[in-house]
Amino acid sequence: MPNPKKAGLPPGTLVHVGERKIEKVKITIIDYGEAQFQEKEAKTVEECFPFKDEPTITWINIDGIHEVDIIEKIGNHFNIHPLLLEDICHTEQRPKMEDFEDYIFVVLKMLYYDEKENGVNAEQVSLILGSNFVISFQESEGDVFNPVRERIRSGKGRIRRMGSDYLAYALIDAIVDNYFITLEKIGEKIEDMEEELVTNPTPATLQTIHNLKRDMIFLRKSVWPLREVVSGLERGESALVHESTRIYLRDVYDHTIQVIDSIESFRDMVSGMLDVYLSSVSNKMNEVMKVLTIIATIFIPLTFVAGVYGMNFQYMPELAWRWSYPLILLLMVGIGISMVIYFRGKKWL
């Protein structure tokens, strides 16, 4: 939900908007070229500054965005527009890509399936792609970028031979790959629900369907704009993205479309589940009504007959007859049986 905390402040004022998810801001620097590699954790933000002018590729990763002065210092040193710094600190951004000639700014959403809360959570990731550096901002320390780190460390694959644009691609790719994990979790949950729907639907099922629907609305809002972001990078005019990287971005774009397709399919499925739920509630009610109707329509007439012969009139000749009691009992059995046959004919039994 949008946050009005900042309404009224001049644009470019840095205020952290969002939950504080980490205690202390952690800055890690990975600097590499085809031949060299260096990794360190920076104690002060100033340690990052010298890397700006080195020819090697530098990846500065900042976990925690609640200390706005750190963001501000980096912004000043790397000449980042104040509005972007504001966006970085404000965790309710819509995914977007902005091209400022000297650098490209990308905001993405990282998605987690939170088993405890049984729902999808998001975390904002901002990337600044310069000609020889990438700065990434995360809300908390995550393990989603670890495979990328590992690839840089080991020198496996293309990553050490390519530029900063490939690094940015690798990070975006890691995030999009992570979506598949979240989607798989949701897919499993939907399958569970579908079984539950058939075997034992309860009002709690409805609540879960409703929650799934909200998750879908949330996912959709987080992922749809990504399409434009990635295609903006791929088809953009920016000199920062090399031709050789574009084909990789096209691959990410395909994945994004796949994610969107899956979300849309899930939405359709969840809508269908609601229909099935409502129908099965109707069916159950129908069944309840049938039982009531069968019992009532068999016994109400019988009770009436019994009532008639319970009347205390003095002149009721049948009462004195020898065989009237067994005959009445037979009559009752007859009424009962014919009712049952009638219900069979109606397919209610």
CB atoms within 10 A of CB 27: 20
- Rounded to a whole number of angstroms, the minimum distance from the CB of residue 348 to a second copy is 7
Q: For residues 47 and 72, which CB has a smaller minimum distance to a second copy in the complex?
A: 72
Q: For residues 40 and 325, which CB has a smaller minimum distance to a second copy in the complex?
A: 325
DSSP 133-166: EEEEEESS--STTHHHHHHHHHT-SSGGGS-HHH
Residue whose token pair is 């629900």: 193
- Rounded to a whole number of angstroms, the minimum distance from the CB of residue 290 to a second copy is 6
- Rounded to a whole number of angstroms, the minimum distance from the CB of residue 347 to a second copy is 7
Binding flag, residue 199, a second copy (CB under 8 A): no
Q: For residues 22 and 276, which CB has a smaller minimum distance to a second copy in the complex?
A: 276
Residues 309-328 that bind a second copy (CB under 8 A): 309-316, 318-325, 328
- Rounded to a whole number of angstroms, the minimum distance from the CB of residue 230 to a second copy is 14
Binding flag, residue 335, a second copy (CB under 8 A): no
Closest CA to 266 of 322, 205, 170, 194: 194
Residue whose token pair is 């990846």: 59
- Rounded to a whole number of angstroms, the minimum distance from the CB of residue 68 to a second copy is 16
d(CA 71, CA 322): 105
Q: For residues 38 and 279, which CB has a smaller minimum distance to a second copy in the complex?
A: 279
Q: Among 153, 272, 334, 344, which residue interacts with a second copy (rule: CB under 8 A)?
A: 272
Q: For residues 329 and 341, which CB has a smaller minimum distance to a second copy in the complex?
A: 329
- Rounded to a whole number of angstroms, the minimum distance from the CB of residue 63 to a second copy is 19
Q: Is 21 exposed, middle or buried (0-12, 13-18, 19+ CB in 10 A)?
A: middle
Structure tokens at 129: 């792609």
Please calculate the CA angle 217-223-225 and round it to the nearest 5 degrees: 110
Binding flag, residue 113, a second copy (CB under 8 A): no
Number of chain positions touching a second copy (CB under 8 A): 116
Closest CA to 25 of 89, 73, 60, 70: 70
Q: Among 51, 103, 113, 277, which residue interacts with a second copy (rule: CB under 8 A)?
A: 277
Residues 287-306, mask of contacts with a second copy (x by CB under 8 A):
-xxxxxx-xxx-xxxxxx-x
Binding flag, residue 347, a second copy (CB under 8 A): yes
8-state DSSP, 194: H
Binding flag, residue 279, a second copy (CB under 8 A): yes
Within 13 Å of residue 108, how many CA atoms lie on the same side as its CB? 26
Residues 149-188 that bind a second copy (CB under 8 A): 151, 156-159, 170, 173-174, 177-181, 183-184, 187
Residues 221-250 that bind a second copy (CB under 8 A): 221, 247-248, 250
CB atoms within 10 A of CB 236: 15
Residues 1-20 that bind a second copy (CB under 8 A): 1-4, 6-13
Binding flag, residue 258, a second copy (CB under 8 A): yes
Binding flag, residue 55, a second copy (CB under 8 A): no
Q: How many residues does the chain have?
A: 349
d(CA 183, CA 222): 13
Helix (H, G, I), strand (E, B) or coil at 39: strand
Structure tokens at 162: 């390519």
Residues 61-100 that bind a second copy (CB under 8 A): 81, 83, 87, 92-94, 96, 98
d(CA 151, CA 31): 13
Q: For residues 49 and 224, which CB has a smaller minimum distance to a second copy in the complex?
A: 224
Q: For residues 68 and 281, which CB has a smaller minimum distance to a second copy in the complex?
A: 281
Q: What is the dihedral of CA 17, 18, 20, 26, to 10 degrees?
A: -70
